[in-house]
C-alpha cells in the first residue's frame, strides 16, 4: 500500500506512531490528514507512519483492517520494538487502530505501547444517544452520512454488531493504555463512553477527555486553540507510554 514517513523537527528517539486516517472507511488519504499527522508528530516527538489502506465501497470490510495490521506487522519485522510503537487514528481510523491492537493480541504478537484515539467511531450500529442528541450541533458529521458509510463498508453480507466491525463488541482484554479525545458536540461521543466502560471491565487503562463545544475530530482544524491543546496532551501521553531510547535510559 502507499505509505509515507512524517518526521518531527527533532530526533524521535526511536518512537513511531502508526496512524490510521479517518473518513468513514470510504474517503481520506495521506494528503487529507497530512497537517494533523505533522502536528501530532511534533507534539509526540515521534515519527509517524501514514498509510493509505484500501477504501470502501470497492474494498469492503475487512480489507482496511487487514492493511492496517499489515503495516503494524511490517514495523515489527523492521525491528521496531512494540514498546516504542503507538497507534493513533481519528474517527474510523481510531477503530482500525483498536483492531490492530486486538489482532496483535489474538495472534500473540507484541502489543503496541498505547493508543491515542480522536473522536473514535467504534460502534457501527450507532446505538448511542449522541447520534440523535448531537446531530444538530455537530457541524462536521451527520448520522445519516455515517450510516451510509457503514453500509458501504460492511456490504450486504455483514452485520454491524460483528466484533471485527465494531470494536465495542470485541473481547477487549489485552489492550494497551488508551487515551480518547472527543468533542461534546460530537455525534460519536457515546461510542467513547461505551468503549471505555467495556474496556475497563477487561482491566484496560482507558481515559476519556471531552472537549466542550467541539465537534467530530476537531483536531483536523489547526486554527482552533482546542485543537492544539488536544494534540499536546495526546503527544504527552504517547511520549509517556512509548518512551524513546533516550527517555527509556533516563
Please report the pLDDT score of residue 158 as a whole number.
75
Residue 246 pLDDT level (bands cut at 50, 70, 90): low
Residue 48 pLDDT > 90? yes
Q: What is the DSSP string of 1-22?
A: -EEEEE--SS--TT-EEEEE--
Mean per-residue pLDDT for 78-94? Answer: 97
Which residues does the annotation mark as catalytic?
A: 91, 185, 216
Alpha-carbon span 152 to 63, nearest angstrom: 13
The overall average pLDDT reported for the chain is: 95
Residue 51 pLDDT > 60? yes
The pTM of this model reads 0.96
Mean per-residue pLDDT for 117-134? Answer: 97
Mean per-residue pLDDT for 131-156? Answer: 94
Q: Are 88 and 116 in contact (CB under 8 A)?
A: yes
The values of phi and psi at residue 73, to 5°, are: -65, -35
Please report the pLDDT score of residue 13 as a whole number.
84
pLDDT tens digits, one per residue of 166-196: 999 999 999 999 999 999 999 999 999 999 9
Please report the pLDDT score of residue 36 as a whole number.
98
Mean per-residue pLDDT for 212-220? Answer: 97
- Counting residues of the chain whose pLDDT is more than 90, the rounded percentage is 90
Mean per-residue pLDDT for 9-36? Answer: 95
Residue 247 pLDDT > 80? no
> What is the signed CA dihedral for 232, 238, 244, 249, rounded to 10 degrees?
100
Residue 250 pLDDT level (bands cut at 50, 70, 90): low
Q: Are 101 and 112 in contact (CB under 8 A)?
A: yes
Mean per-residue pLDDT for 45-69? Answer: 97
Buried/exposed code over 200-225 (b: 16+ C-beta within 10 A; e: otherwise): eeeebebebeebeebbbbbbbeeeee
Please report the pLDDT score of residue 52 as a whole number.
97
Mean per-residue pLDDT for 200-209? Answer: 98
Amino acid at each position: 500500500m502507499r505509505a509515507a514517513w512524517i518526521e518531527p523537527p527533532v530526533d524521535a528517539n526511536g518512537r513511531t506512531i502508526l496512524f490510521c486516517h479517518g473518513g468513514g472507511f470510504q474517503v481520506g488519504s495521506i494528503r487529507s490528514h497530512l497537517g494533523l499527522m505533522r502536528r501530532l508528530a511534533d507534539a509526540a516527538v515521534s515519527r509517524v507512519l501514514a498509510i493509505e489502506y484500501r477504501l470502501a465501497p470497492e474494498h469492503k470490510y475487512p480489507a482496511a483492517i487487514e492493511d492496517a495490521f499489515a503495516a503494524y506487522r511490517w514495523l515489527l519485522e523492521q525491528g521496531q520494538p512494540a514498546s516504542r510503537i503507538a497507534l493513533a487514528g481519528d474517527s474510523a481510523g481510531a477503530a482500525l487502530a483498536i483492531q490492530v491492537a486486538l489482532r496483535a493480541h489474538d495472534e500473540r504478537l507484541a502489543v503496541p505501547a498505547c493508543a491515542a484515539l480522536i473522536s473514535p467511531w467504534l460502534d457501527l450500529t450507532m446505538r448511542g444517544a449522541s447520534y440523535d442528541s448531537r446531530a444538530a450541533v455537530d457541524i462536521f458529521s451527520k448520522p445519516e452520512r455515517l450510516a451510509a458509510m457503514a453500509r458501504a463498508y460492511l456490504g450486504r453480507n455483514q452485520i454491524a454488531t460483528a466484533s471485527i466491525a465494531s470494536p465495542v463488541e470485541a473481547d477487549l482484554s489485552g489492550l494497551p493504555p488508551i487515551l480518547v479525545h472527543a468533542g461534546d458536540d460530537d455525534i460519536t461521543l457515546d461510542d467513547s463512553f461505551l468503549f471505555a466502560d467495556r474496556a475497563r471491565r477487561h482491566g484496560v487503562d482507558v481515559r476519556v477527555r471531552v472537549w466542550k463545544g467541539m465537534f467530530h475530530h476537531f483536531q483536523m482544524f489547526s486554527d482552533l486553540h482546542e485543537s492544539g491543546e488536544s494534540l499536546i496532551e495526546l503527544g504527552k501521553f504517547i511520549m509517556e507510554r512509548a518512551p524513546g531510547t533516550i527517555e527509556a535510559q533516563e
